[in-house]
Amino acid sequence: MENGQQFDKPVRYQIRVQGCLDLKWSDWFDGFTITAADDQTTLEGTVTDQSALHGMLMKIRDLGLPLLAVICLDCGKISDIDFLTNDTSLNSMEL
């Protein structure tokens, strides 16, 4: 990639969705840690590559959960998706 990012390495993500998921969904979400509060659920864990991240997002879609945010916890610099939010202080995609 032009910007030097590698998309085939394990990376930690935090994904926020609207609605409350029970902890029993952790296995289905590849062992991600699940925390539910205030009608939102946070899933946090490591994906092996971008393909695995897209698989996680498809599972969220299949459950019909509104996606609130996808945050790269290991990104040391602003990611290319920040232009969507016009907020260069985050390494995330706020929806």
Please give the pLDDT value at position 14.
96
Query: What is the pTM assigned to this prediction?
Result: 0.73
Task: Map out the domains of the chain with their CATH numbers.
Answer: 11-94 (3.30.70)
pLDDT above 70 covers a percentage of the chain that reads 72
What is the percent of the chain with per-residue pLDDT over 90, rounded to a whole number? 61
The residue assigned the tokens 């939010």 is 85
The string of DSSP letters for 16-75 reads EEES---GGGGTTTTT-EEEEETTEEEEEEEESSHHHHHHHHHHHHHTTPPEEEEEESS-
| Phi, psi of 7, deg, nearest 5 | -105, 10
